[in-house]
Structure 1
Amino acid sequence: MAVPVMQRAIAGDERAVPRAGERITRDAYGRPITYLRISLTDRCNLRCVYCMPAHGMKFAPREELLTDEELLRIVRVAAQVGFSRLRLTGGEPTVRPNVVELVRAMAQIPGVEDISMTTNGLLLERLAYDLAAAGLKRINVSLDTLDPQRYRIITRGGRIEKVWAGIAAAEDAGLSPIKLNAVVVRGFNDDEVPALAGLTLERSWQVRFIEVMPLEGVAEVHDTGLVTTAETRARIEAVYGPLEQLEAPLSDPARVYRIPGAKGTIGFISPVSEPFCAFCNRIRLTADGKLRLCLLRADEVDIRGLVRSGASDEALMERIRAAVWRKPWGHGLREGDRRTGRGMSQIGG
């Protein structure tokens, strides 16, 4: 009887190692890795407190970032390896020049079945219709507060009115279901959790509450501001009563619930208190061309250097397969490993 790939890998069986020419999309633990999160830029038009430090932020020189041609080539090769889902992130992906053309080109690559985006929403009002026409399917919008003045404080200058206009445009363009991402930080917005959850009562949105993570440059925000999912859920249930749990794919980092009778849903993403590493199906491509194997580990594999050296598609495939194979089991926060190496805007959300 065949031994499962996870058991073979743990046992050190050489048969578990991928060979040249094989279409392998599983890591050494047997997890299918089919989801590529692509950072289009490390730049952003906001400076959120849980993402960037207030001072001293350094952005990569333009020449270190992947060009459009390099990026599209990597995506074509990744699709051949088995990556069928793409999520465009940043920094802020909508500030990338030619973002609509990039989406259109990616949507036409054989093997790419789904393209989504995580954005702060500030530029969506003018981009949503073009992005949808180009092939973008869905968006997640970062919205940590409903209060305009507090939004300016959390984002260090953002205008929430632009976000609401962007969400309306995205919904009108068919980029649905709309998901709103709220990073819950004690003393910043934890008191607004019930109000944010209440957005789902009359709208078919999903509001997702995310635990703050100890990323480079903002680890102190995690240390003093972490609000666990258990506490966030308790705040919601104190107002709306017990939540109904719904089924969701195991690979989805959010555990999904509904306020009884609500049109929308609530998601809880708990990387700190309830890690979902066992079902992780993703790796990240940073804007400067590194394959990031885990959001919270510093281990990266260079792909830009290989592209610029004139390597063949076959060599790129083998580099991607090797990166997938060495993806770590988990992020190691519980073991005290906090060597993330980069901030969120540099990695890609």
Structure 2
Amino acid sequence: MGIISVKELGNFYVNGHEVILRGLPHKAFICQDGTTQDFDPNGQYEAGQMYVEYVKLAQPKAKYPLLMWHGGGLTGATWGSTPDGREGWRSLFLRYGHDVYVSDSVERGRSSWAMYPEIYRTHPEFTTKAACWSNFRLGPLFAEDHSKRVSYERTQFPVEYYDEFYKQIVPRWRSMDDWAQDAYNNLVDRFDGGCVIMAHSQGANFALPAALAHPDKVKGLILLEPARTPDPQTTDFSALKEIPQLVLWGDFIRVSELCVWTKAAYFKIYPEYFRIMKELGAPINWIDLPKRGIFGNTHLLMMDRNSAQVAELIQNWMGGRGLM
């Protein structure tokens, strides 16, 4: 695919608003030199902002910019490179000819976070290595002793670099999704000429409502092992019926230890969503990679050893849907 010829690199923030705290008690802390300093938490802060970085090509081939939205407990680092140092999807899709926008959701990464409970409603949630091992379908058994961890046979994830991957995991606040949704909606609203959203896992929770809010601006939805949809009992999805959609799943879905949210998403939530979309006549595709002869993929499709092969499949799908 050759050299990436870049026209512009940059970043910006979406949303954010001033919060003023008053009436909080002062705190004292001891410095390294033994002196005591007073800390006054009262004052003005910014909260609710979302960080976005972008790369614009000198000669893009794709019709629309590609927005990459990460999953739960993750940041935009998801798309940068793989834990074992291979080229990540941000770079691969730039080579395919897309302008790329990578975001850190509200309360993640470079978007920063705010005090709780003074600003955020609840405490942060920290995810253990064991929970990530299970949630991302790396194997049936996690152990503190590296030599005793059991990964799935034929797994494509480079498990010897699992601890390196885990350095990407950050705290998350489940109570601030409304702020995140508002920021994602406003990000999409910036693209008057349209955009394509590539959303991983929890990112799909925000991608579908953003598309419902701006169906004229979302030209394609790529949902990578998506977690959930808006409630089909109360949501009219007809605004999405003209948008090409790809729902993509990896391997090891039918293992007995499959985590609860993946089980719900794969066997209940998204089959119902797919049925609704098909009834509306929407151009939607559901792809199980093992049924395409591509085996061993985990929840972290963009980091698996065959990530370039999966990226090529997605790129071909976009070409076939008129997005190039």
**Between Structure 1 and Structure 2, which shows a larger proportion of helix residues?**
1
TM-score normalised according to structure 2 size: 0.39
TM-score normalised according to structure 1 size: 0.36
**Between Structure 1 and Structure 2, which shows a larger proportion of strand residues?**
2
